[in-house]
Amino acid sequence: MSKVYRIELDGQQLDAEIRLEPGAIVLESRGGTGAYARNPQYSAALETILDRSLGPSSNLERVVLVSRDAIKSFPDIANRLLAEGPELVALGPRAAASAIRTRMRTFGKPPGNNIGNSQKRLRFEYGPGKLVQQLKLHPVAGRPKRLANRDQRRVTAADIHAAVLTLAQGGDAPNFDGSRDYDLVTLGGLRFPPKKVFGLALERALGIEAYPAHFSAGWSQPSFELLQAAGYAIVPKGEPVAGDQAVEPGVSPLPSEDDDRRWIEGHPKRVAHLRRERAPGLARDKKAALLATAGKLSCEECGFEPVAKYGPAFLDAGLDVHHRTPLAELPAGTETSLADLALLCATCHRIEHRKMALAKAS
């Protein structure tokens, strides 16, 4: 198991992760932008590593590209070799950094495989030496450890639907980068980074702040298994998917209209006056269920879909969760299922309550 470090420069640790392995270090890729940038001081770390690795007694043997896409396209390590140590020593630190950047930019382009311009994960391989002292590396304190599979499997379909709803409403999971390889696709064709979705679901299920180190993404991992079991497709990034994709046989995208869970409602709650208490999270779970099963949020009476008229920022704006039986008429402790609720626009909601009032008066 590799350990994670940062490199010191002028008394400060650069914001770029370095993994220490036997006889080597791996400089992790830069990713994201703005406040959510990952390893934003990648370039400074690259230059500092070379400055401390090159010289008359250099023990740097070679620099190899180890990005995931590069390894997939070129399994043979010889085809991912960027430079040998003696060449870099002859160039000097500044020119060596420039040469490595140039070779990364041109790596894999036609007539070979064009695998993109994000191939920045580098492995520096060394001869005998104490790399921590030589490079002035400092361990990253307090990094979260990977959660056991049994803990990851505490994430339910409802947690996943709620996470999708959060992202669809413009929310974010700032601890997670955007996806490079896969998209999670809803039945309505909305696309989200799978790790963001599962990270948010993990926070909801376990009550923690989730980080990428808590779990892995991939077909053999609980995260992908649970996302698919909840009714979502996971496809290679950019691959087209039909908007009306059918749910896999036997896989129920819970919560749905047939969800057999129940929420306790109707307990009197003393505020400025006596009113009936709503179950926390019930409206959210109803919206999440509809988004998961229908792929959109729209009024179940008139069909009004806020996002179609006003854009993604208005996904559920103006849509209310309506009790088919008035909440005021529910005995204390009444169990409510999602099938007892309807999603209505503000106008239809008021009309429905007027209908109920007139029916009661007649």
Tell me the pLDDT tens digit for each residue of 214-261.
898 888 899 999 999 888 889 998 787 654 333 343 333 334 444 444
Q: pLDDT value at position 136?
A: 92
Tell me the pLDDT tens digit for each residue of 98-140.
999 988 887 766 554 544 444 578 999 999 989 999 999 998 8
Q: pLDDT value at position 152?
A: 94
Q: Is 218 left (phi over 0), alpha (psi -120 to 50) or beta?
A: left
Half-sphere exposure of 99 (CA within 13 A, CB side): 17
Cβ neighbours for 237, distance < 8 A, ≥ 6 positions apart:
179, 180, 181, 182, 183
Mean pLDDT, to the nearest integer, of 340-355?
Answer: 89
Higher-pLDDT residue of 26, 73: 26
Q: pLDDT value at position 241?
A: 67
Binned at pLDDT 50, 70 and 90, residue 199 comes out as very high
pLDDT of 58 > 90? The answer is yes
pLDDT of 191 > 80? The answer is yes
pLDDT of 68 > 70? The answer is yes
**Could you give the percent of the chain with pLDDT greater than 90?**
30
Which residue from 40, 13, 42 is spatially nearest to 135, judged by alpha carbons?
13
Least confident of 31-35, 231-235, 270-274, 280-284: 270-274
Mean pLDDT of the chain: 79
| CA 343 to chain centroid | 28
pTM listed for this prediction: 0.44
Which residue from 249, 317, 257 is spatially nearest to 289, judged by alpha carbons?
257
CA distances from 327 to 271, 275, 334 (A): 16, 9, 9
CA atoms 324, 325, 328, 334: torsion sign: negative
Q: pLDDT value at position 339?
A: 77
Mapping DSSP onto H, E and C, the string for the chain reads: CCEEEEEEECCEECCCCEEEECCEEEECCCECCHHHCECCCHHHHHHHHHHHHCCCCCCEEEEEECCHHHHHHCCCHHHHEEEEHHHHHHHCHHHHHHHHHHHHHHCCCCCCCCCCCCCCCEEEEECCCCHHHHHCEEECCCCCCCCCHHHHCCCCHHHHHHHHHHHHCCCCCCCCCCCCCEEEECCCCCEECHHHHHHHHHHHHHCCCCCHHHCCCCCCCHHHHHHHHCCCEEEECCCCCCCCCCCCCCCCCCCCCCCCCCEEECCEEECCCEEECCCCCHHHHHHHHHHHHHCCCCCCCCCCCHHHHHCHHHCCCCEEEEECCCHHHCCCCEEECHHHEEEEEHHHHHHHHHHHHHHHHC
Q: What are phi and psi of 335, to 5 degrees?
A: -85, 130
Q: pLDDT value at position 270?
A: 46
Mean pLDDT, to the nearest integer, of 267-296?
Answer: 62
**Could you give the percent of the chain with pLDDT greater than 70?**
78
Cβ neighbours for 340, distance < 8 A, ≥ 6 positions apart:
323, 324, 325
Q: pLDDT value at position 143?
A: 61
Higher-pLDDT residue of 272, 187: 187
pLDDT of 276 > 50? The answer is no
